């Protein structure tokens, strides 16, 4: 091989190497450009507010009658909402509810009218019952303890409710729903509901302790 032939071979090798370098640089540039302009995939927003669905919610109570039996009742009109925390956990959020006291229903018209009177709820002067949570603790998966202020007849005291998250799901109309159950006890005397009658055999007609039970569904409100 002559000197000039060797020079020619080297030149061809360098040309091929230069082309390869250009192609590699172009590929890297295109990849970087595409990655820079790539739009991240959109994700569904996490709902932070849930509105209570009255059609699928029950607000109920029980109280002792004549010391040995129970009277059960409910309220038929109410509203409320659940606020989740930023992490999506109810324990970092809040509960609130407003009940129309005049809608009390124990299945007996005369008794319900008495309960609406000044002897009990005095709905003419105090038409609503309200609850606003102040803090919520997570006890276990699906189990919470909610503390808050319950106001009846313009008297406010702190109560606690045992709350169970019963599940979530999407209804046939595309609404995301959450289910909760809340239970607690209060003393009616603390709210000025002190009416009673003594029984001949001892004891009183109406018990003091009232058990509250709420079975609720709430619908996600996405902005």
Cα 48 from Cα 88, distance rounded (Å): 7
Predicted local confidence at residue 87, as pLDDT: 77
> Do 15 and 36 belong together in one domain?
yes
Does the pLDDT at position 215 exceed 50? yes
Domain limits at 128?
Answer: 49-220
> Do 27 and 62 belong together in one domain?
no
Place of tokens 């997570």: 138
Name the more confident of 76 and 17: 76
> Do 72 and 3 belong together in one domain?
no
Q: How many domains does the chain have?
A: 2
In the chain, pLDDT over 90 holds for what percent of residues?
Answer: 73
> Do 109 and 178 belong together in one domain?
yes
Total count of residues recorded for the chain: 223
> Do 37 and 53 belong together in one domain?
no
> Do 199 and 142 belong together in one domain?
yes
Does the pLDDT at position 79 exceed 70? yes
Domain edge (last residue) among 9, 24, 42: 42
Q: pLDDT tens digits for 29-43?
A: 444 444 444 444 444
5 falls in which pLDDT band (50, 70, 90)? very low
163 falls in which pLDDT band (50, 70, 90)? very high
> Do 66 and 138 belong together in one domain?
yes
Average pLDDT for 4-9: 42
> Do 29 and 103 belong together in one domain?
no
pLDDT, averaged across the chain: 85
Predicted local confidence at residue 169, as pLDDT: 95
> Do 71 and 92 belong together in one domain?
yes
In the chain, pLDDT over 70 holds for what percent of residues?
Answer: 78
> Do 192 and 164 belong together in one domain?
yes
The tokens describing 120, both together, are 């009990």
Q: Which long-range contacts (CB under 8 A, 24 or more apart) does 76-80 make?
A: 76/100, 76/103, 76/105, 77/103, 78/52, 78/54, 78/103, 79/52, 79/54, 80/51, 80/52, 80/131, 80/216, 80/218
> Do 160 and 186 belong together in one domain?
yes
pTM for this predicted structure: 0.78
> Do 56 and 120 belong together in one domain?
yes
The tokens describing 4, both together, are 């000039």
């Amino acid at each position: 091989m002559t000197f000039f032939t060797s020079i020619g071979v080297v030149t061809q090798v360098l040309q091929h190497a230069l082309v390869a370098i250009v192609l590699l640089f172009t590929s890297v540039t295109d990849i970087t450009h595409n990655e820079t302009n790539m739009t991240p995939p959109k994700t569904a927003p996490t709902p932070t507010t849930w509105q209570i669905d009255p059609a699928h919610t029950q607000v109920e109570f029980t109280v002792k009658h004549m010391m040995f039996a129970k009277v059960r009742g409910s309220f038929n009109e109410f509203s409320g909402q659940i606020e989740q925390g930023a992490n999506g956990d109810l324990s970092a959020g809040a509960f609130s509810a407003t009940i129309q006291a005049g809608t009390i229903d124990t299945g007996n018209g005369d008794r319900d009218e008495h309960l609406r009177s000044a002897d009990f709820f005095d709905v003419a002067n105090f038409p609503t019952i309200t609850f606003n949570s102040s803090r919520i603790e997570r006890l276990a998966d699906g189990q919470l303890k909610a503390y808050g202020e319950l106001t009846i007849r313009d008297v406010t005291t702190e109560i606690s409710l045992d709350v169970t998250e019963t599940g979530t799901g999407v209804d046939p109309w595309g609404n995301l729903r959450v289910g909760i159950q809340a239970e607690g006890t209060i003393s009616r005397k603390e709210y000025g509901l002190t009416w009673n009658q003594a029984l001949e055999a001892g004891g009183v007609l109406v018990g003091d302790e009232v058990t509250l039970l709420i079975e609720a569904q709430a619908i996600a409100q996405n902005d």
